[in-house]
Amino acid sequence: MLELYDGALDVSAIFDKWYKEESKSNYGAFIPFVGTIRDEDSIDGLSFDVYEPILESWFNKWQEKAKESNAIVKMAHSKGDVLLHESSYIAAVFSPKRRVALEMIDEFVEDFKASAPIWKYDLKDGKRVYASERSTAIKGSGLLA
Amino acid sequence: MIKVEFLGPISKPTMELEASNLKDISEILKQDDEVKEWLETCAVAVNDTLVSSLDVKLQNGDKVSLLPPVCGG
């Protein structure tokens, strides 16, 4: 349930799809997180590169972890350009009871930020500039230094 | 030959190198002015699996990827 889209996410359509997919699965809680592009630092938007093979294995490990709590995770992310006030990221946890999902969405999004192989660029003055100061080195970095 | 690919913002085409382990790759990349500044902050994957040791043996056709700092969402 890892979904990648070119450009901005259609939040309503993805919510509707995920809700329908699980509407008869007997999950008592559906906790989503939606990330949108804020108007700041005079940017026109953000742009993303995604390395799919490692993103998939990272996500599959999370799916296994969620399964241990009888939960599931879903995630959608953009590739390429996303403009101001549009969404580039949606994550959700479905679980039988709310506590598991509330805690897992926090852990999942934080680990996503620190580990998912996605690179962000500011779109500004017609240029695509790597957001190096907001980026985090993946755990274990520097092996070749 | 070992294929070395540079992901995300490292604007460098894939290289083909002769190497038998990651130590060899490290030595070669430290000599490369475009790449050496990235080494401190890059994670390393061999055939799309992240690795944490330089002792990983490499075989002909293996792919080594350098992953610079990330920021999804």
For A69-88, the pLDDT digits (tens) are: 999 999 999 999 999 999 99
Q: Which pLDDT score is estimated for A108?
A: 98
Q: Domain B2-67 class?
A: alpha beta
- Rounded to an integer, the average pLDDT of B55-62 is 94
For chain A, say whether B28 makes contact (Cβ under 8 Å).
no
Q: Which pLDDT score is estimated for B55?
A: 87
Q: Of B48, B52, B69, which has the smallest distance from its Cβ to A143's Cβ? A: B52
The owner of tokens 């293996």 is B62
For chain A, say whether B19 makes contact (Cβ under 8 Å).
no
The amino acid present at A107, given as its one-letter code, is: E
Q: Of A53, A54, A113, which has the smallest distance from its Cβ to B73's Cβ? A: A113
Instruction: Say yes or no to pLDDT of A1 above 90.
Output: no
Q: Minimal Cα distance from B53: which residue of A?
A: A143
Tell me if A98 sits within 8 A of A32, measured CB to CB.
no
**A140 contacts in chain B (CB < 8 Å):** 43-44, 50-52
Q: What is the C-alpha separation between A1 and A4, in angstroms, rounded?
A: 10
The complex's ipTM? 0.95
- Rounded to an integer, the average pLDDT of A128-142 is 97
The DSSP secondary structure of A54-82, one letter per residue, reads: HHHHHHHHHHHHHHHTT-EEEEEEEEEEE
For chain A, say whether B50 makes contact (Cβ under 8 Å).
yes
β-pairing verdict for A29-36 and A45-50? unpaired
Task: Provide the mean pLDDT of chain A.
Answer: 97
- Neighbouring residues of B31: CB distance < 8 A, sequence distance ≥ 6: none
**B66 contacts in chain A (CB < 8 Å):** 144
Domains of chain A, first to last: 2-132 (3.90.1170.40)
